[in-house]
């Protein structure tokens, strides 16, 4: 979740990350949907998330950053099962409803990004970015008495 948020990446793009995608400059991501290639620069928070992912126990060495105990890449189904457990635990701790999907994490990352959101997201058009950017714009109201 953290890598998806920090990189503005889709679930599938994160699940496909290989150790070789961890570059000196940052994390190389090739978007499965658009084919866009980017390197997301390292930040302390991204380094910490990747380091945590690298510490997964495994019987054999894996080529994938996120993998199961046999070294195979995590599947969407396995991630979904883990996601459901994490959400259920969070609901209990917060005594409330958490009504969002894993895909919403990418949108949250794009919405929170300060800068060129189209470049960050890798989308080809501003209209595609608008679908993901859910930040509510604050604008002035009319003040007819102000001269």
Q: Which residue from 4, 36, 27 is spatially nearest to 101, judged by alpha carbons?
A: 4
Segment 32-44 mean pLDDT: 92
The model's confidence at residue 83, banded by pLDDT at 50, 70 and 90, is confident
How far is the C-alpha of 118 from the C-alpha of 12, rounded, in Å?
Answer: 20
Segment 105-133 mean pLDDT: 84
Are 76 and 11 in contact, with CB atoms under 8 Å apart?
A: yes
| Percentage, residues of the chain above pLDDT 90 | 41
Mean pLDDT of the chain: 88
pLDDT at 147: 65
The H-assigned helical ranges of 18-101 are 44-54, 76-94
64 three-class SS: strand
Q: How far is CA 31 from CA 46, 88, 134, in A?
A: 18, 29, 21
Q: Which domains does the chain possess?
A: 2-132 (1.10.443.10)
22 three-class SS: strand
Does the pLDDT value for residue 125 go beyond 80?
Answer: no
Token representation of residue 52 = 């945590």
For the ranges 26-30, 54-58, 76-80, 99-103, the maximum mean pLDDT occurs at: 26-30
């Amino acid at each position: 979740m953290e890598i998806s948020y920090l990189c503005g990446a889709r679930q599938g793009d994160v699940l496909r990350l290989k150790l070789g995608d961890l570059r000196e400059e940052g994390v190389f991501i090739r978007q499965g949907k658009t084919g866009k290639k980017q390197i997301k620069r390292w930040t302390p928070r991204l380094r910490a998330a990747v380091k945590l992912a690298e510490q997964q126990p495994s019987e054999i060495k894996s080529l994938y950053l996120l993998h199961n105990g046999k070294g195979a890449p995590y599947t969407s189904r396995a991630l979904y099962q883990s996601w459901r457990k994490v959400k259920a635990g969070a609901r209990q701790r917060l005594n409330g409803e958490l009504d969002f999907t894993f895909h919403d994490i990418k949108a949250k990352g794009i919405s929170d990004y300060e800068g060129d959101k189209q470049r960050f997201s890798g989308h080809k058009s501003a209209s595609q970015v608008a679908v993901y950017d859910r930040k509510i714009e604050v604008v002035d109201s009319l003040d007819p008495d102000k001269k």
